[in-house]
Structure formats: structure tokens, C-alpha cells
Structure 1
Amino acid sequence: MQMFNPFLQTIENETHRTKVAELFTWVAETFPQLETTIKWNQPMFTDHGTFIIGFSAAKQHFSVTPEAQGLSPFVERITEADYSQTQNLFRIKWTQDIDYALLRDMIQFNIDDKADCTTFWRK
């Protein structure tokens, strides 16, 4: 998790920084088999060299990027959580709670779906 410290320091608001740090800790503890990396200035969790989920931060929110194929089965749940979304990511406003059950299911979906994947991104 030390790898993510430089990214966390870019989040100026201490409350926001703590929220993301707690999220990263939760992912690491819930899925201890995942590796951590930073690519394209984004903290990411990978499994056997393949992308599982990534995060980025902005002024009003932070984004969760599970790839389009990892997001599409969860569109309805993302909408129900009142998160905004695009085809490739969804955004959690700093004022919103994190739906950890949604994230757990999304991460597990990607782990299972990419079990035999030999590339970083899905083809």
C-alpha cells in the first residue's frame, strides 16, 4: 500500500484523502491476492498481470474504473447507488457513501471473468 502514498498526497482535502486510503486498505484486505501498481498516474489493483480495477481523484469526486465489460453488469446497481457513470467508469462524489458491496461484487466479477486472461486489458 506504500506504493499509493504519492497518489494519496495529491488529494489536498484530508477527509477525501482518508476516504480513498480507507478504500484502498479495504480492497487490499478483502482481496489480498491482488497486486498494487500505478499506471497512467492511477492506482490500480491487478491479478496475474491483468487489470482488475483502478481509481482516480477529482475535485468533486473520485472515479472507479473496472473496464467497460466489468462495469456493464452493474449499471443498474450503480444507478441505484446514485453514482454518475460513463461506459468505462463511475464516479462517487466525496459527499456520498461508498457502496462496498457493489465494489466487492464488481472486483470479484473481474477476477473471475479474467481468470484466464493473459493480457492487461480485455481484448
Structure 2
Amino acid sequence: MEIFAEYLARIDNPQHRARTEEVLSWVSEKFPNLMPVMKWNQPMFTDHGTFIIGFSVAKHHLAVAPERAGIIHFSDEIVQAGYHHSQQLLRLPWDRPIDFSLLERMIEYNILDKADCSTFWRK
């Protein structure tokens, strides 16, 4: 997690910093084969050089970016979990528990769906 230390240190709100660190640590522990990287000033995880999931901090939520395909695939589950999403990201409100099982399924989906992907982003 050392790669994310500077990013985490820049999060002013201690609760937001702790929540972000919790999620990043969870991904690292749950998916040890994923590579933690910083790109475009945001923490991300890759697999064989291809993007799997990224995160960013906003005022009211932690944004989770599984690419558009991940949002489309899980749109109904995202709504059923009580979260909002755009075409590119899922918003995890700071004041609500995280549905780690949904996050796990999204990551697993991207790992499987991009197993043969040779580019960073889907084409």
C-alpha cells in the first residue's frame, strides 16, 4: 500500500482517508494478484497491464470506476444496493456501509472479462 501513501495523505477528512484506505487495503488483500498503481493521480488496480478498477475521492462519496462495461453489467445490482452511478462510476457515500460483495463481483467480472485484453482500457 506504500504506492498509495501520498494519495491517502492528501485526503483532508480523516474519515474519508480511513474509508479510502480500508477499501484499497481490502482490494489488495482480496485480490493479491492485482497490481496497485497510481495513474492520472488516482489509485487503480491492474491485471497483466490492463485496468481492472480505479478509485477517487469526492466530497460526498468514494467513486469506484470499473469501466463502462462494469457499470452496465452491474447496473441493476448497484441500484438494488442503494447506490447511484453514472455511465463510468459508482458512488459509495461516505456515510453508508460498503457492499464489499458487490465490489468483489465487479472486480471478478473485470478480471474474467479482460483476461485476454491486451490494452489498458477496453476497446
Q: TM-score range by the shorter chain?
A: over 0.9
2:23 alignment counterpart? 23
1:86 and 1:10 mapped to 2: Cα distance?
25
TM-score, length-normalised on structure 1?
A: 0.97
Displacement of 1:9: 1.3
1:33 and 1:92 mapped to 2: Cα distance?
24
Displacement of 1:82: 1.4
Contact 2:71-2:85 within 8 A present in 1 as well: no
Q: Could you list the runs of 5+ residues in structure 2 that have no partner in the other structure?
A: none
After superposition, residues 42-81 of structure 1 pair within 5 angstroms as: 42-81=42-81
Per-residue deviation, residues 35-54 of structure 1 (Å, max 9, x unmatched):
01111111000000000000
Q: How many residues align?
A: 123
User: Runs ≥4 in structure 1, deviation > 4 angstroms?
Assistant: none
Which amino acid in 2 is paired with 1:66? Answer: P
* RMSD of aligned Cα (Å): 0.7
Which amino acid in 1 is paired with 2:7? Answer: F
TM-score, length-normalised on structure 2?
A: 0.97
User: Identity percentage over the alignment?
Assistant: 53
2:6 alignment counterpart? 6
Q: Could you list the runs of 5+ residues in structure 1 that have no partner in the other structure?
A: none
Specify the SS of the correspondent of 2:117. Answer: coil
1:2 and 1:44 mapped to 2: Cα distance?
13
Displacement of 1:17: 0.7
2:34 alignment counterpart? 34
2:115 alignment counterpart? 115
